Structure 1
Amino acid sequence: MSEQKNGNTTIFMIVGAAVVLAIVAVLAAVYVNDAPSGNNSNGANSAVAPAAACSGSVELAKAVEPFATGHVAAMASASEPRSLAFLSFNSPQGEKMTVGDMSGKTLLVNLWATWCAPCREEMPALDELQKVMGGEDFEVVAINIDQGDDSKPTAFLEEIGVASLGYYRDNTMGVFNDLKKEGLAFGLPVTLLIDEAGCLVANMNGPAHWSSDDAKAYVGAALSGRQQPSS
Structure 2
Amino acid sequence: MNEPLDENKVAEAKSAKEVKTKSVRKQRFNFIVLGVLVLVIAASVAGVMWFRQANTPEQRAETETAQGPLKGYATGSLATLITHETPQPLTDITFFDRDGKPHTLAEFKGRVVVLNLWATWCAPCRVEMPTLAALQKSYDPAKVTVLTLSIDEAKSLAEAKNFLDVHEPLVFYNDPEVQPLSKWNVIGMPTTIILDKTGMEVARLGGEAKWDTPEAHALIDAVAAK
Q: TM-score range by the shorter chain?
A: 0.5 to 0.7
TM-score normalised to structure 2 length:
0.65
Question: Could you list the per-position Cα deviations for residues 50-95 of structure 1 after superposition, in whole angstroms to 9, with x for gaps in the alignment?
Answer: xxxxxxxxxxx73322122111121111234421151331135422
Residue 143 of structure 1: SS of its match in structure 2?
A: strand
Q: 2:178 corresponds to which letter in structure 1? A: M
The one of 148, 153, 163 equivalent to 1:142 is 148
User: Is the 1:85–1:100 Cα contact (8 Å) retained in structure 2?
Assistant: no
For residues 140 and 206 of structure 1, what CA distance do their matches in structure 2 show?
16
Relative to structure 1, is the Cα distance of residues 80 and 91 closer, same or farther in structure 2, using a 3 angstrom cutoff? same
Q: 1:153 corresponds to which letter in structure 2? A: A
The one of 107, 110, 121 equivalent to 1:101 is 107
Relative to structure 1, is the Cα distance of residues 176 and 88 closer, same or farther in structure 2, using a 3 angstrom cutoff? farther
| Structure 1: stretches of 5+ with no match in the other structure | 1-60, 226-231
For residues 101 and 162 of structure 2, what CA distance do their matches in structure 1 show?
20
Residue 133 of structure 2: SS of its match in structure 1?
A: helix
Residue 138 of structure 2: SS of its match in structure 1?
A: helix
Give the root-mean-square deviation of aligned CA atoms.
Answer: 1.7
- 2:207 corresponding residue in structure 1: 206
For residues 111 and 99 of structure 2, what CA distance do their matches in structure 1 show?
19
The one of 69, 78, 93 equivalent to 1:87 is 93
- 2:118 corresponding residue in structure 1: 112
- 2:49 corresponding residue in structure 1: none
4+ residue runs over 6 A deviation? none
User: Is the 2:115–2:193 Cα contact (8 Å) retained in structure 1?
Assistant: yes
For residues 137 and 143 of structure 1, what CA distance do their matches in structure 2 show?
18
Q: Quick check: which has more Rg, 1 or 2? A: 2
User: Is the 1:88–1:97 Cα contact (8 Å) retained in structure 2?
Assistant: yes
Q: State the number of aligned residues.
A: 159
Relative contact order higher in (CA < 8 Å, ≥ 6 apart): 1
Relative to structure 1, is the Cα distance of residues 93 and 105 closer, same or farther in structure 2, using a 3 angstrom cutoff? farther
- 2:184 corresponding residue in structure 1: 179
Identical aligned pairs, as a percentage?
31
- The alpha carbon displacement at 1:137 in A equals 1.3
- 2:15 corresponding residue in structure 1: none
Relative to structure 1, is the Cα distance of residues 223 and 80 closer, same or farther in structure 2, using a 3 angstrom cutoff? closer
- 2:84 corresponding residue in structure 1: 78
Q: 1:179 corresponds to which letter in structure 2? A: W
For residues 166 and 176 of structure 1, what CA distance do their matches in structure 2 show?
21
